[in-house]
Amino acid sequence: MKGRVLVIGLGLIGGSLALCVKKRHPESTLIGFDINIEQCRLGKMLGVIDEICFNLEEEAVNADVILISTPVIETEKMIERLCELPLKQDVIISDAGSTKEAIVLKARCLKEKNITFIGGHPMAGSHKSGVAAAKEILFENAFYLFTPEPHIQDEKVDLLKRWLEGTRAKFITISPEEHDYLTGVISHFPHVIAASLVHQAEQTSRDHQLITRLAAGGFRDITRIASSSPAMWKDISLHNRKVLLSLLDRWKDEMDKFSKILSDNNEDQLFDYFAEAKNFRDDLPSKEKGAIPAFYDLFVDVPDYPGVISEITGYLAKERISITNIRILETREDINGVLVISFQTETDMAKAEECIQRYTNYGTSTGL
């Protein structure tokens, strides 16, 4: 397929989408636009895009595909700008936002001009940001949700999928309303809960200073998503306010239910409560990418002696295995420490585990 593809917002997601389109459709021309022009210059230098867009209005009218990859509030503003332009009648516009109902509603102005807008949400991410972190494999086997309105022809959705087939993602088509509810349950609401747990720990730490040390282990892991961009989650929460308020009411009911079981000192119900949660959680697919980026952590039991960390990382470097983060868990009751090494993919984690087992006798386990 040949055409001009304009990517608005050249960060991790936008850059990765550009790479996927460029690889699958090398005859196309990728143009990048970002409010931070340095991201565009870096993107061109890295080969993520072919051209830099300095004037959005001039470039948008010549585009065959426009992919908007900006924060949801900025996406609404960008759609308003596009609605004022004499775009090609056959142009396809899509976004990559985490909420859909408000954005699709905002795009009604495009519908009035017979311009095709198809809401999109590639459910993948990384702890890194910026175009330098863009990867062709970011969306591989991830769910990519499309939310076209009823008037959008199936042929248009299929055409967008062909443009994006280089992502090697799993395409699913649902309504904007269903999208926001489902992502609210398994992505947006967990971020709220993680943030609330951190707030509770912070308040407790004022009287119990040991909290900050003890929270360095499992607590830090289960609340890792609370470290996401505050600006982004402010916008997402406001966009999906109706769903989140409903889920908060249900959460209060769930906590009241548990509180009663505990108050009643009902051992059987307590066991059932945790057992049912364990069973459902254990049955969740472990090899699928979901709404929240997976954390590929390898736990290594290491003895406490100088140079042990450089020893492990040296073995990984020898095998050319890249890591994204490394830390030591302090909350251990035995004499050994646990080295936690994070990886970008499950494949890298598996290679690292095999490497460490080959060179050492240290015990390893994964976070899956």
Q: Which segments of the chain does DSSP mark as H helices, in order?
A: 12-24, 37-45, 56-60, 72-83, 101-106, 108-111, 154-163, 176-183, 189-205, 211-214, 218-222, 230-239, 241-263, 267-282, 308-318, 346-359
Q: What is the dihedral of CA 17, 19, 25, 29, to 10 degrees?
A: 90
Average pLDDT over residues 19-44: 95
Q: List the structure tokens of 108.
A: 């009604």
15, 56, 90, 207 from 130: Cα distances, Å? 8, 20, 30, 39
Q: Rounded to two decimals, what is the model's pTM?
A: 0.79
Q: Is the pLDDT of residue 115 over 70?
A: yes
Average pLDDT over residues 10-30: 95
Q: List the structure tokens of 88.
A: 């090609």
Instruction: List, for residues 196-214, the tens digit of each pLDDT value.
Output: 999 998 998 888 888 887 7
DSSP 65-92: EEEE-S-HHHHHHHHHHHHTS---TT-E
More confident residue, 207 or 144: 144
How sure is the predictor about 247, in pLDDT bands with cuts at 50, 70 and 90?
very high
Q: What is the pLDDT of residue 126?
A: 66
Average pLDDT along the chain: 89
Q: Which domains does the chain have, with CATH numbers?
A: 4-174 (3.40.50.720), 179-282 (1.10.3660.10), 296-366 (3.30.2130.10)
Q: What is the dihedral of CA 181, 187, 188, 192, to 10 degrees?
A: 140
Q: Is the pLDDT of residue 291 over 90?
A: no
Residue 61 per-residue DSSP state = T
How sure is the predictor about 335, in pLDDT bands with cuts at 50, 70 and 90?
very low
Amino acid at 83: C
Q: What is the pLDDT of residue 368?
A: 56
Q: What is the pLDDT of residue 43?
A: 95
Q: Is the pLDDT of residue 79 over 70?
A: yes
Task: With beta carbons less than 8 A apart as the criterion, state whether 300 and 363 touch.
Answer: yes
Cβ-proximal residues to 9 (8 Å cutoff; 6+ apart), any chain: 33, 34, 68, 69, 70, 74, 96
Average pLDDT over residues 266-272: 95
Q: Is the pLDDT of residue 110 over 80?
A: yes
Cα gap 195→198, rounded to integer Å:
5
Instruction: List, for residues 159-176, the tens digit of each pLDDT value.
Output: 999 999 999 999 999 999
